């Protein structure tokens, strides 16, 4: 990793070195690790605000709403920062809806996406009065229409179309091409839209897409938006004139190593002119862009090992705490909390979980770290804690928010007993 990339990553994350000690928004990360223990996720409110404002400003020429994809980070502290900025919430489950409401998002700023929604989730959404619900199938429409009729409540719906555009990203997180489970295929949108129009409780308000995640190229957005606008024109030509909103999903990529992130201005230049003439409002559902660079995972070194010609550093955070490296071979930069200027050599940074695939980084230049030294894993604010599990009966990490020089634990580390609370070992146990 070149110094200039590291400098850029530090700027993205609100990190700086002061006499070798790593600080986040002025707070020494060692002090947080000392008090809260490790592994711990630490988020910067200032970075989240900076990201939100940059996107919000770039989109200023069109009426728009930025609905944060709660799946990326559902910490109440993070959600509260975004709610206070005026963001909406993009959710994919009843659980995320409950969280968004608990964090104080008004129901009408909530967008319910998601490839499959149960009746219970549809009932909860209609009862709460969520602002928009994106349909994925005729079966879902039938259930929603019945529920809205029974409850006597109106509902604004959208259709998530699959624009069949190819986006360059990891195949597990590309969602806009044909032959995958997401969205309604283009040729099935018109019949579904007609079916919506038959239900007086429902109004077709939105046409939506989401084409993938960690996208760095603007072309698929431009292409997808053009296709959706064509589709809306077709709907209008056939007498369906209720569509007011174009939702272009999330997907904006961030810098994990040397990438050039997709700048809000670049996205706006491509999309805003297309949308301006249409009279539509724009909705975006970014997750990673808003919070990815805003989080680090603090971890402590447990031991070192030399085996089969390789050097390993075993740390106290594993794949159950941060799954991205082992699941996607994702790259996360790792830096010392206290830099001591020692010589470096290639090491694998691995966790304590009993899986060979449990690693945070492979072949990284790091010094001969000793037990008790601490590291920060960068770019861990999105799809970090939310994907954590209790595998190996490991409590999930604590979460901390840093804001304006203050910091607090937004979520304590799980207590061991809570991991089996509610279990019944035998048929007769209470």
Using the minimum distance from each CB to ligand LLP, give the nearer residue, 27 or 92: 92
Identify any residues that bridge with 111 across adjacent strands, giving them in sequence order: 90, 132
Report if residue 112 touches ligand LLP, rule: CB under 6 A.
no
**Residue 389's closest CA among 412, 417, 419?**
419
Report if residue 295 touches ligand LLP, rule: CB under 6 A.
no
Contact 154, 130 (CB under 8 A): no
User: Considering only residues 383, 399, 407, 410, which one is a binding residue for ligand LLP as defined by CB under 6 A?
Assistant: 383
Rounded to the nearest whole angstrom, what is the least distance from the CB of residue 220 to ligand LLP in the complex? 12
Q: Binding segment for ligand LLP among 23-31, 209-217, 308-316, 393-401 (CB under 6 A)?
A: 209-217
Using the minimum distance from each CB to ligand LLP, give the nearer residue, 169 or 299: 169
Residue-by-residue DSSP string for 384-410: SGGG---GGG-PPPEEEEEETTEEEEE
Using the minimum distance from each CB to ligand LLP, give the nearer residue, 14 or 250: 250
For the chain, state the CA radius of gyration.
23
Report if residue 132 touches ligand LLP, rule: CB under 6 A.
no
Q: At what angle do helices 219-237 and 264-276 cross, to 10 degrees?
A: 20
Report if residue 96 touches ligand LLP, rule: CB under 6 A.
no
**Residue 355's closest CA among 316, 319, 311?**
319
Using the minimum distance from each CB to ligand LLP, give the nearer residue, 250 or 318: 250
Residue 405, number of CB atoms within 10 A of its CB = 9
Asked about 18 being catalytic, the answer comes back as no
Sequence-ordered alpha helix ranges (H) in 113-157: 119-128, 138-151
Q: Binding segment for ligand LLP among 102-110, 146-154, 286-294, 309-317 (CB under 6 A)?
A: 286-294
Burial class (CB in 10 A: 0-12, 13-18, 19+), 153: middle
Q: Sketch the per residue contact string, 64 through 83, with ligand LLP: x for CB under 6 A, - otherwise.
A: -----x--x-----------
Report if residue 289 touches ligand LLP, rule: CB under 6 A.
yes
Using the minimum distance from each CB to ligand LLP, give the nearer residue, 289 or 359: 289
End-to-end, the C-alpha distance of the chain in Å comes to: 55
Report if residue 255 touches ligand LLP, rule: CB under 6 A.
no
Q: Which two tokens stand for residue 204?
A: 């077709």
Report if residue 288 touches ligand LLP, rule: CB under 6 A.
yes
Report if residue 131 touches ligand LLP, rule: CB under 6 A.
no
Q: Sketch the per residue contact string, 1 through 40, with ligand LLP: x for CB under 6 A, - otherwise.
A: ----------------------------------------
Contact 296, 376 (CB under 8 A): yes
- Counting residues that bind ligand LLP (by CB under 6 A) gives 21
With a CB cutoff of 8 Å and minimum separation 6, the contacts of 262 are 215, 216, 217, 218, 252, 253
Residues 148-207 that bind ligand LLP (CB under 6 A): 173, 175
Using the minimum distance from each CB to ligand LLP, give the nearer residue, 111 or 366: 111
Consecutive H or E run containing 44: strand 40-44
Per CB under 6 A, residues contacting ligand LLP are 69, 72, 90, 113, 173, 175, 210, 213-214, 249-252, 285-289, 324, 382-383
Please identify every residue annotated as catalytic: 354
């Amino acid at each position: 990793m070149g110094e200039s990339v590291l400098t850029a990553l530090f700027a993205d994350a609100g990190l700086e070195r002061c006499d070798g000690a790593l600080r986040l928004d002025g707070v020494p990360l060692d002090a947080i690790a000392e008090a809260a223990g490790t592994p711990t996720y630490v988020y910067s409110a200032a970075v989240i605000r900076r990201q939100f404002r940059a996107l919000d400003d770039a989109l200023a020429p069109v009426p728009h709403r930025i609905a944060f994809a709660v799946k990326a980070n559902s910490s109440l502290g993070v959600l509260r920062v975004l709610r206070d900025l005026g963001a909406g919430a993009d959710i994919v489950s009843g659980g995320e809806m409950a969280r968004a409401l608990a964090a104080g998002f008004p129901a009408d700023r909530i967008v319910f996406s998601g490839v499959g929604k149960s009746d219970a989730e549809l009932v909860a959404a209609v009862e709460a009065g969520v602002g928009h619900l994106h349909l994925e199938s005729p079966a879902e429409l039938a259930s929603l229409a019945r529920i809205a009729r029974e409850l006597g409540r109106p509902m604004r719906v959208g259709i998530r179309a699959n624009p069949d555009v190819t986006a360059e990203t990891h195949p597990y997180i590309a969602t806009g091409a044909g032959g995958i489970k997401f969205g309604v295929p283009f040729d099935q949108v018109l019949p579904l839209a007609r079916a919506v129009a038959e239900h007086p409780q429902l109004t077709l308000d939105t046409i939506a897409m989401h084409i993938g995640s960690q996208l760095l190229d603007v072309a698929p957005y431009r292409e997808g938006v053009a296709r959706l606008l064509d589709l809306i024109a077709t709907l209008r030509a056939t007498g369906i004139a209720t569509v007011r909103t174009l939702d272009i999903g999330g997907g904006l990529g961030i810098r994990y190593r040397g990438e050039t992130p997709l700048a809000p201005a670049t996205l706006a230049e491509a999309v805003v002119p297309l949308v301006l003439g249409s009279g539509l409002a724009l909705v975006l559902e970014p997750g990673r862009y808003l919070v990815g660079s805003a989080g680090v995972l603090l971890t402590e070194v447990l031991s070192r090992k030399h085996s089969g010609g390789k050097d390993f550093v075993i740390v106290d955070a594993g794949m159950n705490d941060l799954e991205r490296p082992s699941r996607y071979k994702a790259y996360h930069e790792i830096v010392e909390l206290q830099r001591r200027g020692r010589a470096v050599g290639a090491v694998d940074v691995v966790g304590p979980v009993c899986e060979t695939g449990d690693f945070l980084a492979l072949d990284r230049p790091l010094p001969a770290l000793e037990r008790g030294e601490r590291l920060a894993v960068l770019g861990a604010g999105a799809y970090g804690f939310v994907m954590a599990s209790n595998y190996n009966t490991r409590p999930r990490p604590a979460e901390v928010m840093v804001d304006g020089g203050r910091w607090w634990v937004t979520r304590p580390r799980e207590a061991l007993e809570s991991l089996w609370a509610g279990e019944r070992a035998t048929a007769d146990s209470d």
